[in-house]
Amino acid sequence: MDKESLLRLVELLHKDKDIDKDIVFLGIESALESATRKHLKTSEPISIKIDRVTGEIVAVQGEQEIDLSDLGRITAQTAKQVIIQKIKEAERDVIYNEYVDRKGTIVSGMVQRFEGPAIIINLGKAEGYLPKSEQISNEFYRPGERVRCVVAEVKKVGHKVKILLSRTHSNFVRQLFELEIPEIPEKIVEIKGLVREPGYRTKIAVFSEDPNVDCVGACVGVRGTRIKNIVDELNGEKIDIIRWDDEQEVFIPNTLKPAEVTGILLSPENQVATVVVPNDQLSLAIGKRGQNVRLASKLAGWDIDIITEVELEREREREEANSSTEEGVGGTISSEDDAGKEVEDAMLSEDAGSEEVEK
């Protein structure tokens, strides 16, 4: 390869693959050194340097300069294979470094093909892998369809980079909120907690230190436009936006929304909250298959027991009845004790009278 062709190759790889020029030069130098050492069958150090401006190649073994044109076609072919390998490794490293920095963020791509239940998504410079376990259960995809996912994991596999994507991860919803609600990246509104059952329901707790900012209203948007965009992206998944509060007496009832709560009793020693709801709110508080209370419990970090107002009233009546019974039993015992004392006193009086007669 002449000097001009070498420089054109380096420039092409730099522009097309976004590989740093110096990395390409170093790869070619390493490949030529390896091929030359193998051809000459020597353990003596061999140094090959390429001028970054002119493309001129200088090869030295010890103190002696080597003419690379004398190495033959086989050596050149070996060097070419090593160069290709080095370039693939450099290309892999570029893709890896780009996407490892994007871990936890949203990427957009096109459905390219299916590998069993998994989907391969074309991200442009790389391919993303969306396994069945990371797909929302009620969604279906077609080739050519655009889809957004969050980058869950990035790892090197041989000469390739495997980019694991997810639509079920909680970070996917978190990132959608950051994209749709500018107050979140601006730190005006803060996401304090987020729990999710993909495809069914998400609960997200938000907070703002600015008293003039309605954190829930900011997330909902004018006429619900902001939250609608997020729900549409999640294919209709329900989202409960909850106002964060440091006081558990306030926050735990909030986590059970949309159900209404009329009372709460906390047991901090075992992290259990007993919550009272109206009779007609019980099923709403529990949710389908216990989903609402389960997510509320995860978000609050407390075990939540739900009882109705009727159940609470019955429990109070039962306690009052038990208390009355205990008082009644105690009174009877006291009367029996008094009667026994009177009998004992009478017997003592009789004994005293008998003693006086004998005298």
Q: In terms of domains, do 150 and 60 share one? A: no
Q: In sequence order, what are the residues at sequence separation of 6 or more whose Cβ sits closer than 8 angstroms to the Cβ of residue 153?
A: 103, 162, 163, 164
- pLDDT of 354 reads 40
Q: Is the pLDDT of residue 342 over 60?
A: no
Q: In terms of domains, do 84 and 132 share one? A: no
- pLDDT of 326 reads 60
Q: In terms of domains, do 150 and 187 share one? A: no
Q: Is the pLDDT of residue 224 over 50?
A: yes
pLDDT tens figures, 114-124: 999 999 999 98
Per-residue confidence at 348, pLDDT binned at 50, 70, 90? Answer: very low
Q: In terms of domains, do 214 and 293 share one? A: no
Q: In terms of domains, do 173 and 155 share one? A: no
Q: In terms of domains, do 79 and 121 share one? A: no
CATH for 192: 3.30.300.20
Q: In sequence order, what are the residues at sequence separation of 6 or more whose Cβ sits closer than 8 angstroms to the Cβ of residue 174?
A: 191, 194, 204
- pLDDT of 323 reads 73
CATH for 142: 2.40.50.140
pLDDT tens figures, 67-89: 776 666 656 677 677 777 877 88
Q: In terms of domains, do 159 and 185 share one? A: no
Rounded to an integer, what distance in angstroms lies between the CA atom of residue 153 and that of residue 174?
A: 17
Rounded to an integer, what distance in angstroms lies between the CA atom of residue 267 and that of residue 280?
A: 25
Q: In terms of domains, do 88 and 13 share one? A: yes
- Residue that is last in its domain, among 42, 72, 100: 100
* Tokens matching residue 42: 């020597």
Q: Is the pLDDT of residue 142 over 80?
A: yes
Q: Tokens 């949203």 label which residue? A: 106
Tell whether 355 is covered by a domain.
no
Strands (E) across 140-181 are located at 146-157, 160-166
- pLDDT of 305 reads 93
| Most confidently modeled range among 9-13, 43-47, 286-290, 349-353 | 286-290
Tell whether 137 is covered by a domain.
yes
139 vs 202, higher pLDDT: 202
Tell whether 353 is covered by a domain.
no
Q: Taking a C-beta distance cutoff of 8 angstroms, is the pair 99, 151 a contact?
A: yes
Q: Taking a C-beta distance cutoff of 8 angstroms, is the pair 125, 95 a contact?
A: yes
Q: Is the pLDDT of residue 353 over 50?
A: no
Closest CA to 215 of 193, 242, 195: 242
Tell whether 357 is covered by a domain.
no
Rounded to an integer, what distance in angstroms lies between the CA atom of residue 54 and that of residue 69?
A: 18
337 vs 309, higher pLDDT: 309
3-state secondary structure of 323: helix
Q: In terms of domains, do 11 and 90 share one? A: yes
- Residue that is last in its domain, among 100, 131, 156: 100
pLDDT tens figures, 227-285: 999 999 999 999 999 999 999 999 999 999 899 999 999 999 999 999 999 999 999 99
When the pLDDT of each residue in the chain is averaged and rounded to a whole number, the result is 84
Our count of domains for the chain comes to 4
Q: Fill in the amino acid letter for 338.
A: D
Q: In terms of domains, do 177 and 137 share one? A: no
Tell whether 358 is covered by a domain.
no
Q: In terms of domains, do 239 and 258 share one? A: no
354 vs 194, higher pLDDT: 194
Structural domain including 264 reads 246-347
- pLDDT of 333 reads 40
- Residue that is last in its domain, among 225, 244, 263: 244
Q: In terms of domains, do 187 and 147 share one? A: no
CA dihedral 186, 128, 109, 116 (to 10 degrees): -130
Q: Is the pLDDT of residue 34 over 60?
A: yes
- pLDDT of 64 reads 80
CATH for 31: 3.30.1480.10
Tell whether 8 is covered by a domain.
yes
Tell whether 122 is covered by a domain.
yes
pTM over 0.85: no
Tell whether 356 is covered by a domain.
no
